[in-house]
Amino acid sequence: MASIRDVRPDITPVSLQQALTHVNVVDWGTANPEILVSGVTVDSSDVASGWIFVGIPGFTHHGASYSQQAIANGAGVVVTDTAGAQLLSGAISTPVVTIEDPRSATPHIAAAIYGPYVQSMKLVSVTGTNGKTTTSYLTHAALSAHYGPTALLSTIEIVTGATHILSSRTTAEAPVVYRTLAASALAGERAGVVETSAHALSLHRVDGIAFDSAIFTNLQHDHLDYYHTMENYFEAKVQLFRPEHARRGVVCIDDAWGQQLAGRATIPVDTVSALQPTPPAFEGRANHWWVSQRHDDVASWGVSFTLHSPTGQKYACFCPILGAVNVQNAACAIIAATQLGVPIETAIDAIAHSRGVAGRMEKVPSNPAIHPRVLVDYAYTPEALEALLKTLRPLVKGRLIVVFGTDGDKDPSKREDLAAAAARLADDLWVTDENPRTEDPQQVRNYLLRGIKRVRPGMENVTEVTTCRRDAVREAIMSAHPGDLVAITGKGPEPYQVIKGVNHAYNDVPVALEVLRAIN
């Protein structure tokens, strides 16, 4: 598998002064404004000769403290704030430029270096709590059908040209976003999709990019460890629907947050009601789409629906990923594609024939005569897990079994609600670890056990597995019978498990497949 370090677009160098044109420079130090630079990075290990290294103050360490490693890897100049410059005083001979705010300045530097190559691309941003990745992939399929090979920056992977790179976060830092899109443009790609998290908006990772369309799927309980309130979380999302970030938008108004966003957006937006009736305030509104005749098609593991346009046309649509929530995702992708000039019939056909998304309602191959049905899904919020289990319940002849945990070091306020949803909607519960990170795994599981007890005081059909997630997956599948369904949730396609700060190789799908193959 390639690394982001393999993405090195062959661009024309610019002067340091040009790279810092839109940045508040406090002190040029010994730097020559006319020296040429050919890249920018905030990662001291991801540097090439002649690049700028930006030292950003972090939550625990100042990025400037990594300058010597960056210089050893080729950085020709360091850009940082006053604290970073003081940290480096007398420690390095490489020029240091002092600026006011390295975090907010970084995308402007990246735009000055890579932006000219990106300007010609048609770009879509996808945000929301749940559905971002699936919608990004569906939009990517629609754009690819019309524009040819298309860039993709998602939670799962970064795709540019023929290069596929595993992602380390939903939205990369600004230099990586710009660099990837520049590489895609230089490879002849004319369009791209960028999955955009609330953190990315708050931390300026997509500043300077005016997306041709911005999609909002929904807002649900998440990230309150960072934003503290849902209102703060929502305000981060609102930023995307302003002229500095996007030209047009698509807003799903199935929840109150979407309805509020439609009124707060300062760009033209198309709205869509996919799972709920159109609210009275949106009835007859120009640019409002709506969905009818939703139907889960278990045989093809997808969902069909009719999409109604603002002018009254009806379109038969199909999404090859089971579940009502994927009607939201597919409808948003279709509408956004049309905003970028893709004929609606082309978008609908491309999505209908697209591949499923790893870790999203992903079936694990099995023999129904001797095996339970097993699937892996990324659902990790209370709302997402509830939607998943409600989708699955009608499909199960026997017992609905769920294997789940929750992340350590992240938003503990959602943990009990997540477990309560599992207790209400599944038959058998297997409580295990997700990514404990630096938190005590037992402490994390205790939250889940308290949530379960709110619904099942007697803890009927609940098993806590304290050894490892692999054991939980194995025991849950071994406890099941043909006709049962085992849903393994929370991690989706993640290829690792984070325990005490160490990434351990792990993936739910091959572990489940290994267990199924052992059942004769």
Of 352, 373, 388, which residue constitutes the final position of a domain?
A: 352
Of 107, 135, 169, which residue constitutes the final position of a domain?
A: 107
Domain CATH number, residue 337? 3.40.1190.10
Per residue in 265-290, pLDDT (tens digit) is: 999 999 999 999 999 999 989 999 99
Domain CATH number, residue 65? 3.40.1390.10
Whether residues 374 and 503 share a domain: the answer is yes
DSSP 8-class letter at 393: G
In the sheet with 157-160, reading across from the earlier edge strand, the strands are: 163-166, 157-160, 151-153, 191-195, 122-127, 213-216, 249-252, 269-273, 288-297, 302-308, 314-319
**How is residue 469 written in tokens?**
């997630």
Could you tell me the CA-to-CA distances from 270 to 197, 237, 378 in Å, in that order? 21, 16, 28
Whether residues 393 and 415 share a domain: the answer is yes
Q: To which residue do tokens 């849902």 refer?
A: 230
Q: Is residue 70 part of a domain?
A: yes
Whether residues 454 and 428 share a domain: the answer is yes
pTM: 0.93
Share of the chain residues as helix, strand and coil, in percent rounded to the nearest 5? 35, 25, 40
Whether residues 425 and 279 share a domain: the answer is no
**pLDDT on residue 172:** 93
**pLDDT on residue 43:** 96
Q: Is residue 197 part of a domain?
A: yes
Q: Is residue 506 part of a domain?
A: yes
**Contact present, 342 and 336 (Cβ < 8 Å):** no
Whether residues 103 and 252 share a domain: the answer is no
Q: Is residue 112 part of a domain?
A: no
**pLDDT on residue 1:** 57
**Contact present, 192 and 222 (Cβ < 8 Å):** no
**pLDDT on residue 60:** 86
Could you write out the three-class secondary structure of 3-17?
CHHHCCCCCCCEEHH
Whether residues 237 and 374 share a domain: the answer is no
Burial code of 236-246, b = ≥16 C-beta within 10 A, e = fewer?
bbbbbbeeebb
Whether residues 459 and 336 share a domain: the answer is no
Phi/psi of residue 152, each to 5°? Answer: -140, 125
**Contact present, 356 and 320 (Cβ < 8 Å):** yes
Q: Is residue 317 part of a domain?
A: yes
Q: To which residue do tokens 């009275």 refer?
A: 280
Average confidence (pLDDT) per 10 residues, the chain, 520 residues = 88 97 95 97 96 94 96 97 94 95 97 96 96 96 98 96 90 96 96 96 95 95 81 94 97 96 97 96 94 90 96 97 94 98 98 94 94 95 94 94 95 95 98 96 97 98 97 98 97 93 94 94
The length of the chain is 520
For residue 187, what are the domain limits?
A: 119-352
Whether residues 303 and 165 share a domain: the answer is yes
C-alpha to C-alpha distance for 486 and 475, rounded to whole angstroms: 11
Q: Is residue 224 part of a domain?
A: yes
Cα-based angle 489, 490, 492 (whole degrees, multiple of 5): 80
Bridge partners of 215, per DSSP, are 126, 250
**How is residue 140 written in tokens?**
């990517």
Whether residues 317 and 426 share a domain: the answer is no
Domain CATH number, residue 467? 3.90.190.20
Per residue in 193-214, pLDDT (tens digit) is: 999 999 999 999 999 999 999 9
Whether residues 24 and 146 share a domain: the answer is no
Whether residues 472 and 496 share a domain: the answer is yes
Q: Is residue 357 part of a domain?
A: no
Strand spans (E) along 298-432: 302-308, 314-319, 362-364, 373-377, 400-404, 428-431
Query: Which helix (H) or strand (E) is 77 found in, with range?
Result: strand 77-80
Of 352, 374, 403, which residue constitutes the final position of a domain?
A: 352
Whether residues 337 and 426 share a domain: the answer is no
C-alpha to C-alpha distance for 262 and 182, rounded to whole angstroms: 31
The total number of structural domains that make up the chain: 3
Q: Is residue 196 part of a domain?
A: yes
